[in-house]
């Protein structure tokens, strides 16, 4: 039975929204955000992984509100983000995987001055999936040919018509402009396009991947110059994690493989449905509480 209110003047209406967060949800967020393994999680990843673990089901903004109220709302990762502008050297709109690839090479420091390893990566722009990669101690045309060959085979593109194969975006390095590389794309029926000189934003997606990889807390900063297995093992683990476990902000906080394989839409619909169901549960919870306990 509900208790009666006092005669003193109070602001009319309910004391809080009908779908206000339940106390048990607040405690679950505080406990989860305080774990050592979650310290580097963004608000979105806290929200998604907390729901996946069955601990709470809240939007990122609700998680932020709880942490702010508890004095825990400082920037958890301090990572800036910059949007990438659409450029004319790629399709204007992507609707699925393997419509546009980008690739590039990144220098990896070693324990010897002016000696590097080189990370070659092909990235699908729609899903952000790494479709092929390799590490080499040389900047060579042969490595570029092998990289493209790996990507074609991995995605099974030899079995589809040439007009359905991706546009390929790359920089103006000598490995990209080498005649055998250009001829390979011609033979495969794939259109190769080049970023504009002195315009790094023309190829932003793979550059963002390199930046993310090198800002990883586990990134060693340098590798032994004389042991390629160390480099191979590190990027095998990192890029495997990136493709299958990393919740990518630019594709709706799903993993690149989930996006690439068409699972993303269903996952996002399920998240929205789950949030709606929990919201309704909160409403029923507060309606069932007596007024003295903050009920409606």
Dihedral pair phi/psi, residue 132, rounded to 5°: -165, 150
pTM over 0.85: no
What 3-state class would DSSP assign to 114?
A: coil
Q: What is the pLDDT of residues 15-24, one digit of tens each?
A: 777 788 899 9
Angle between helix 179-188 and helix 141-154 axes, rounded to 10 deg: 20
CA distance 267 to 293: 37
Number of residues written out for the chain: 296
For residue 27, give every residue at least 6 positions away whose Cβ sits within 8 Å of its Cβ, in sequence order, or none: none
Instruction: Report in angstroms the alpha-carbon separations of 251 from 234, 246, 258.
Output: 25, 11, 10
Classify the phi-psi angles of 221: left when phi > 0, otherwise alpha if psi is within -120 to 50, otherwise beta.
Answer: left
Instruction: Report in angstroms the alpha-carbon separations of 63 from 257, 268, 277.
Output: 26, 18, 17
| Lateral strand order in the sheet of 192-194 | 130-136, 116-124, 100-109, 167-170, 192-194
For residue 119, give every residue at least 6 positions away whose Cβ sits within 8 Å of its Cβ, in sequence order, or none: 105, 106, 108, 133, 134, 135, 210, 213, 235
Instruction: Report in angstroms the alpha-carbon separations of 125 from 51, 132, 256.
Output: 28, 13, 10
CA distance 154 to 157: 8
pLDDT at 70: 83
The answer to whether 248 touches 130, Cβ cutoff 8 Å, is no
Return per-residue pLDDT of the chain as tens, 296 residues: 455 555 666 667 677 777 888 999 999 999 998 888 888 888 999 999 999 999 999 999 999 989 988 887 665 554 444 443 334 467 888 999 999 999 999 999 999 999 999 999 999 999 999 999 999 999 999 999 999 999 999 999 999 999 999 999 998 888 888 999 999 999 999 999 998 776 767 889 999 999 999 999 999 999 999 999 999 999 999 999 999 999 999 999 999 999 999 999 999 999 999 999 999 999 999 888 888 777 76
The answer to whether 286 touches 4, Cβ cutoff 8 Å, is no
CATH class of 100-256: alpha beta
In the chain, where the domains are located: 23-78+263-293, 100-256
What 3-state class would DSSP assign to 109?
A: strand
Unique residue bearing structure tokens 């990122």: 60
Q: What is the DSSP string of 153-206?
A: HHTTGGGS-GGGSPEEEE---HHHH-HHHHHHHHHHT--EEEPPTT-GGGSHHH
């Amino acid at each position: 039975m509900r208790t009666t209110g006092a005669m003193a003047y109070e602001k009319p209406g309910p004391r809080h929204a009908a779908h206000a967060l339940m106390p048990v949800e607040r405690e679950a967020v505080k406990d989860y955000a305080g774990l050592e393994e979650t310290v580097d999680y963004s608000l979105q990843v806290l929200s998604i992984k907390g729901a996946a673990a069955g601990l709470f089901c809240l939007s990122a903004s609700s998680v932020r509100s709880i942490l702010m109220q508890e004095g825990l709302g400082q920037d958890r990762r301090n990572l800036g983000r910059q949007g990438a502008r659409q450029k004319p050297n790629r399709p204007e709109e992507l609707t699925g995987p393997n419509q546009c690839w980008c690739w590039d090479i990144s220098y990896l420091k070693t324990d010897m001055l002016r000696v590097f390893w080189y990370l070659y990566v092909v990235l699908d722009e729609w899903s952000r999936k790494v479709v092929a990669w390799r590490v080499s101690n040389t900047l060579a045309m042969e490595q570029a040919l092998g990289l493209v060959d790996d990507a074609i085979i991995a995605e099974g593109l030899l079995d589809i018509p040439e007009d359905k194969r991706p546009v390929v975006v790359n920089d103006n390095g000598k490995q990209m402009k080498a005649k055998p590389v250009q001829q390979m794309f011609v033979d495969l029926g794939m259109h190769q396009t080049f970023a504009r000189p002195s315009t790094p934003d023309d190829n932003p997606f793979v550059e963002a991947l390199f930046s993310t990889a090198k800002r990883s807390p586990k990134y060693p900063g340098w590798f032994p110059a004389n042991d390629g297995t160390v480099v191979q093992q590190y990027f095998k683990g990192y890029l495997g994690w990136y493709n299958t476990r990393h919740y990518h902000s630019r594709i709706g906080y799903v993993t690149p493989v989930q996006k690439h394989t068409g699972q993303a839409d269903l996952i996002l619909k399920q998240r929205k449905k789950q949030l709606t169901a929990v919201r309704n549960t909160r409403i029923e919870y507060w309606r069932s509480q007596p007024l003295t306990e903050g009920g409606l």
